[in-house]
Amino acid sequence: MNNEAFVEFERVQKSYDGENLVVKDLNLSLPKGEFLTMLGPSGSGKTTCLMMLAGFETATHGDIRLNGQSINNIPPHKRGIGMVFQNYALFPHMTVAENLSFPLEVRKIGKSEREDKIKVALDRVQMGNFAGRRPAQLSGGQQQRIALARALVFEPELVLMDEPLGALDKQLRETLQFEITHLAHELGITVVYVTHDQTEALTMSDRVAVFDDGRIQQLAPPDKLYEEPENSFVAQFIGENNTLEGVVKEIKNGSALVQLDDGSLIDAKPINVSKPGERTRVSIRPERVEYNKDRLRADAHTLSAEVLEFIYMGDIFRTRLRVAGRDDFVIKTRNAPDQVRLKPGQQIEIGWLAEDCRALDA
Amino acid sequence: MSDSTHTGPMLAADGTTLKSSLNRALRRQKLRALMLIAPLLIFVLVTFIAPIADMLFRSVENQIVSDTLPRTTQMLGDWDADAADIPAPQVFEALYVDMFIATERKLHTRLGSRLNYELTGVSSLFRKSGRKVEDMGEVYQDQFEDLDKFWKKGANLNALFGAPDWQAAQAAWDTSDKKAQPKFKLRSGLETVLPQASEAFDVYARFTQGEDGKNLSKAKPWALIYSALYNDLVAQPAGLAALDAPGADELRAAAARVGDFDTVDFTAAFKKIDKDWVSQDVWRVIKTYSPRFTNGYFLNSIDMKKTADGPQMRAENEQLYIKLFIRTLFMSLVITGSCILLGYPVAWILANLPAKTANLLMILVLLPFWTSLLVRTSAWKVMLQQQGVINDTLVWLGLVADDSRLALINNQTGTIIAMTHILLPFMILPLFSVMKTIPPSYLRAAKSLGATNWTAFWRVYFPQSVPGIGAGSILVFILSIGYYITPEIVGGTTGTFISNRIAYHISSSLNWGLAAALGAILLAVVLGLYWAYDRIVGIDNVKLGG
């Protein structure tokens, strides 16, 4: 992976109706070989970005560069970008082999070379025996594999995937997630992947761009995104999250003291707050909450909580608490032999490490 | 369960076979379904299947000749149509009998019109002969009446030929006011003694009582009976001596004298009516069309004629129908082609516009449907004529000189323009509904794979829209092949279809058999094309939507 920008968005804006911006001032650059996921709720502008990159939409303003060259005025068929669509878009009137042959034929590649490439591409997705079938004779997972093979068969350096696994069931999705990442790394291709499934984004990507309201809210590797969300939207959107609201009392030594709306005090790491008196939203991951006093630091602030619900989920326990006047506070504990199973109605004290608790924008 | 070892049919819980048990369970459902479609089924049977069956039957049916001239056609069986001579005198005598009866029943003109389709002039020949044939047998009637006053009175003949119980019933009816006249019954045994006269009298009596609705007691016997009686008596029948009936004596007296009667030469008599009767042409036509079923109409439909020597091509200047069929097919193809060319882009735009705009445009497409066909066609007449809107515009633009205005109507151009316009919605609608189901992502996929706009369209979009083209083409082609009103109005002479000819035969020339044969051929052509289409494109590839 080199760090030279392969795909670049510079101050890109897009509007469909001339009144509202779907994409607002997008700046993004990714190096060759990276697997970047655009993640966001529907209407956040992520698919529009992908379509602009593919050439099916034109940017209202700004520059999109591929390999250092502006592609704003290059028609889609000359961009040489592979694309996998959500509904596969396999041509129903052609066999699997003909589908794969199509991009090679329009590139005027000779017959024998075509056949070799098709064979390699099909074997790569373990579909070597299906060359003569029609798309309608294949299952969803098989069709997706063929769509992938077709997007790769002409050896593009950049492949775009628009929610390719959206229509598949959970298990198949997980298998294909693994296969796609594997293939991408093996071939060294650059992938821009669009999804609204955060698990998919976290497990597959080198970096994830979280979209909301036409902007990238955070662009970071999965672990950083999960553990160090930069604003409350990202914290909410990625994974499960507990939110408490309050006012910053003081900030010192890289730690903030936050007074919650019910008056209780907690420690947090200041991220988007700078001075006392600011309102803030404090975010704590459910698995970082501790209720075993022995494991908490002696000077840590604790909150009293009432157990509302205990859910057994196999590998973990999920317990819902009432904390600081909110009853949607969730903690997750591992199903370990020594783990205490809380009972509804029980009163407990909860706490956490100050660095796990992030004071974000209100 | 022991299903794996069970080899016979699957059994239901009560031991009957599963199949019959299932059938029983489904029977109610099927019956209910049948009840629901019954009104439509009956309607279709009565208004569609039955007329088509009747039409197909009419195209080969030819019973009128043998029904009207039963004796003549039978006698003609021995006549060699190739020989130079006209049929034997017996045939003319049979013709006299048939014609006499047909004239009384007023059927001779219908037969005349029927045979006139095959040979012009027969119609007037029959009409003329009908008027004169009644007088032909009067020679015999006069001689019988001269012989004995007995033969003058119809009542005497009734007494001679009628069965005694009928005579009693008739006499009772004469004085009562009951409605139904007792049906005539022939005196038993008489038909062996006087075969021809009995038959003639029987026909006469039944006709008088039945079709004519007159009182037989007061009717005047046909001259035909006397000529038949003469024939019977000349043969000096053996049973005559023993005959016991009122008038048997007079009969025997007449039998003794008939040898001296003046006879009628029927051949000469018919020749006197019209010398066409001694021409072979008339007789050949009668013989050729004697059978109860004929392929003559079909031969006519393909410009051939049925002759005694078998089917022959008509003369060049009489040929019409093959040319018309070919023209109909060719013009239907042109119309279908122009509908595809004009309709495809429209359907594409409709399918790719936002729903709101597409609906508005769809209304414009459908608008012609809500306007009367006649109005639309007449509008084209206004538009296309030499002093019409289009020519005026072209002249005004200077594209066409004023003295060489384009002939856009009363020819093939007019028919093609007007029919393309009228049938266009039938092409656009199936195309639109098929295109609506093609997701735009296919085109995007093709482009992302490196295809130019044209390649993406031609190799990806177009093949998927072929079912729509197929459905639209079948609709337009089959509709246009049988179209009538528009070619009639704007087609002139060179732009008319076979359907116009069919309509002419149905309503003007009244040659329904020929119209039916033309229709049957048209039906066969459509079915044949449908079959070919199924073989080439596959009928599964036709989609009207979804």
In chain B, the percentage of residues whose pLDDT exceeds 90 is 25
3-state SS assignment for residue B300? helix
In chain A, the percentage of residues whose pLDDT exceeds 70 is 99
Do residues B110 and B64 lie in contact, with contact meaning Cβ atoms separated by under 8 Å? yes
Contact of A154 with chain B, judged by CB distance below 8 Å, is answered with yes
Rounded to the nearest angstrom, the minimum Cα separation between B451 and chain A is 6
> Between A77, A82, A90, which is nearest B447 by CB?
A77
pLDDT digits over A290-307, tens only? 887 777 777 777 888 999
Q: Does the distance separating the beta carbons of A89 and B441 come in below 8 Å?
A: yes
Per-residue model confidence (pLDDT) at position A1: 39
Q: Which helix (H) or strand (E) holds A208?
A: strand A207-212
Q: Where are the alpha helices (DSSP H) in A240-288?
A: none
* Closest chain B residue to the Cα of A150, Cα to Cα: B449
Say what angle helices B512-536 and B50-58 make with each other, to 10 degrees.
120
What domains sit in chain B, N to C, each tagged with a CATH number? 1-58 (no CATH), 66-134+275-294 (no CATH), 139-260 (no CATH), 321-541 (1.10.3720.10)
Q: Does the distance separating the beta carbons of A56 and B447 come in below 8 Å?
A: yes
Q: Does the distance separating the beta carbons of A75 and B450 come in below 8 Å?
A: no
Rounded to the nearest angstrom, the minimum Cα separation between B485 and chain A is 40
pLDDT digits over B47-89, tens only? 999 999 998 999 998 888 888 999 888 888 888 877 778 888 8
- Count of beta carbons in the 10 Å neighbourhood of residue B299: 19
**Quick one: pLDDT band at residue B532, thresholds 50, 70, 90?**
confident
Q: Is the pLDDT of residue B4 over 60?
A: no
Query: Up-side HSE of residue A148: CA atoms within 13 Å toward CB?
Result: 28
Say what angle helices B89-104 and B108-116 make with each other, to 10 degrees.
120
Contact of A156 with chain B, judged by CB distance below 8 Å, is answered with no
Q: Does the distance separating the beta carbons of B442 and A77 come in below 8 Å?
A: no
Q: Does the distance separating the beta carbons of A91 and B446 come in below 8 Å?
A: yes
- Residues of A within 8 A of B543 (CB-CB) are none
Per-residue model confidence (pLDDT) at position B5: 53
AA letter at B318: E
Rounded to the nearest angstrom, the minimum Cα separation between B447 and chain A is 5
Q: Cα–Cα–Cα angle for B181, B182, B186, nearest 5°?
A: 130
**End-to-end CA distance of chain A, in Å?**
38
Beta pairing, strands A358-360 & B304-307: unpaired
**End-to-end CA distance of chain B, in Å?**
44
Q: Does the distance separating the beta carbons of B441 and A76 come in below 8 Å?
A: no
**Quick one: pLDDT band at residue A2, thresholds 50, 70, 90?**
very low
- Residues of B within 8 A of A82 (CB-CB) are 448-449
**Quick one: pLDDT band at residue A111, thresholds 50, 70, 90?**
very high
> Between A76, A80, A91, which is nearest B442 by CB?
A91
Closest C-alpha among A257, A247, A251, A262 to residue A325: A262
Per-residue model confidence (pLDDT) at position B239: 81
Q: Does the distance separating the beta carbons of B441 and A103 come in below 8 Å?
A: no
Q: Does the distance separating the beta carbons of A103 and B449 come in below 8 Å?
A: yes
Do residues B332 and B522 lie in contact, with contact meaning Cβ atoms separated by under 8 Å? no
Paired strand residues for A268: A256
Please identify which residue in the block is written with the tokens 């326990």. Answer: A317
3-state secondary structure B192-258: HHCHHHHHHHHHHHHHHHCCCCCCHHHCCCCHHHHHHHHHHHHCCCHHHCCCCCCCHHHHHHHHHHH
| DSSP 8-state symbol, A89 | -
Closest C-alpha among A257, A186, A231, A176 to residue A362: A231
Rounded to the nearest angstrom, the minimum Cα separation between B442 and chain A is 5
- Residues of B within 8 A of A103 (CB-CB) are 449-451
Contact of A80 with chain B, judged by CB distance below 8 Å, is answered with yes
Q: Which helix (H) or strand (E) holds A326?
A: strand A326-334
| DSSP 8-state symbol, B345 | H
**Quick one: pLDDT band at residue A190, thresholds 50, 70, 90?**
very high
Say what angle helices B138-147 and B248-257 make with each other, to 10 degrees.
110
Q: Where are the alpha helices (DSSP H) in B248-320?
A: 248-257, 266-273, 280-288, 296-301
pLDDT digits over B386-444, tens only? 888 999 999 999 888 888 888 888 889 999 999 999 999 999 999 998 998 888 889 99
Contact of B442 with chain A, judged by CB distance below 8 Å, is answered with yes
Lowest-pLDDT choice from A11-15, A64-68, A323-327, B46-50 = A323-327
Dihedral angle sign, alpha carbons of residues B288, B290, B296, B297? positive
**Quick one: pLDDT band at residue B541, thresholds 50, 70, 90?**
low
> Between B448, B460, B463, which is nearest A76 by CB?
B448
* Mean pLDDT within B287-308: 86
Q: Does the distance separating the beta carbons of B451 and A106 come in below 8 Å?
A: yes
Closest C-alpha among A80, A90, A82, A81 to residue A167: A90
Separation CA A271–CA A278 (nearest Å): 12
Q: Does the distance separating the beta carbons of B450 and A56 come in below 8 Å?
A: no
Q: Does the distance separating the beta carbons of B448 and A83 come in below 8 Å?
A: yes
A176-189 as b/e, with b when 16 or more CB fall inside 10 Å? bbebbbebbeeeeb
Radius of gyration, alpha carbons of chain A: 25
Per-residue model confidence (pLDDT) at position B274: 87
- Enter the pTM of the model: 0.77
* Closest chain A residue to the Cα of B466, Cα to Cα: A93
Rounded to the nearest angstrom, the minimum Cα separation between A229 and chain B is 35
Separation CA B61–CA B295 (nearest Å): 9
Contact of A66 with chain B, judged by CB distance below 8 Å, is answered with no
Q: Does the distance separating the beta carbons of A76 and B447 come in below 8 Å?
A: yes
Per-residue model confidence (pLDDT) at position A291: 83
Please identify which residue in the block is written with the tokens 């591992």. Answer: A334
Contact of A56 with chain B, judged by CB distance below 8 Å, is answered with yes
Greater model confidence, B215 or A64: A64
Lowest-pLDDT choice from A102-106, A206-210, A254-258, B29-33 = A254-258
Rounded to the nearest angstrom, the minimum Cα separation between B465 and chain A is 11
* Closest chain B residue to the Cα of A51, Cα to Cα: B444
**Quick one: pLDDT band at residue B1, thresholds 50, 70, 90?**
very low
Rounded to the nearest angstrom, the minimum Cα separation between A252 and chain B is 55
pLDDT digits over A145-175, tens only? 999 999 999 999 999 999 998 888 888 889 8
Dihedral angle sign, alpha carbons of residues A42, A48, A51, A53? negative
Rounded to the nearest angstrom, the minimum Cα separation between A80 and chain B is 7
Beta pairing, strands A358-360 & B310-313: unpaired
B144-175 as b/e, with b when 16 or more CB fall inside 10 Å? beebbebbeebebbbebbbeeebbebbeebee
Q: Is the pLDDT of residue A228 over 80?
A: yes
ipTM of the modeled complex: 0.83
Tokens, residue B384: 């296309």
What domains sit in chain A, N to C, each tagged with a CATH number? 5-232 (3.40.50.300), 240-288+298-360 (no CATH)
Q: Does the distance separating the beta carbons of B445 and A91 come in below 8 Å?
A: yes
Rounded to the nearest angstrom, the minimum Cα separation between A171 and chain B is 26
Separation CA A165–CA A196 (nearest Å): 11
Closest C-alpha among A12, A144, A18, A21 to residue A87: A144
Separation CA B132–CA B266 (nearest Å): 12
B374-383 as b/e, with b when 16 or more CB fall inside 10 Å? eebbeebeeb
Dihedral angle sign, alpha carbons of residues B56, B62, B63, B68? positive
Q: Where are the alpha helices (DSSP H) in chain A?
A: 46-54, 96-106, 111-124, 140-152, 170-187, 198-204, 222-227, 232-237
Per-residue model confidence (pLDDT) at position B158: 87
DSSP string, A3-49: -SEEEEEEEEEEESSSSSEEEEEEEEEEETT-EEEEE--TTSSHHHH
Please identify which residue in the block is written with the tokens 């197929």. Answer: B470
Per-residue model confidence (pLDDT) at position B2: 45
Q: Does the distance separating the beta carbons of A83 and B445 come in below 8 Å?
A: yes
- Residues of A within 8 A of B462 (CB-CB) are none
Q: CB-based contacts of B109: which residues, under 8 Å, 6+ apart?
A: B123, B126, B127, B130
Q: Is the pLDDT of residue A241 over 60?
A: yes
- Residues of B within 8 A of A107 (CB-CB) are 450
Q: Does the distance separating the beta carbons of A107 and B451 come in below 8 Å?
A: no
Tokens, residue A153: 């068969």
CA-CA-CA-CA dihedral for B517, B521, B523, B526, to nearest 10: -170
Contact of A108 with chain B, judged by CB distance below 8 Å, is answered with no
* Mean pLDDT within A41-46: 88
* Closest chain B residue to the Cα of A160, Cα to Cα: B448
> Between A56, A89, A151, which is nearest B442 by CB?
A89
- Count of beta carbons in the 10 Å neighbourhood of residue A302: 17
AA letter at B119: L
Per-residue model confidence (pLDDT) at position B545: 58
3-state SS assignment for residue B267? helix
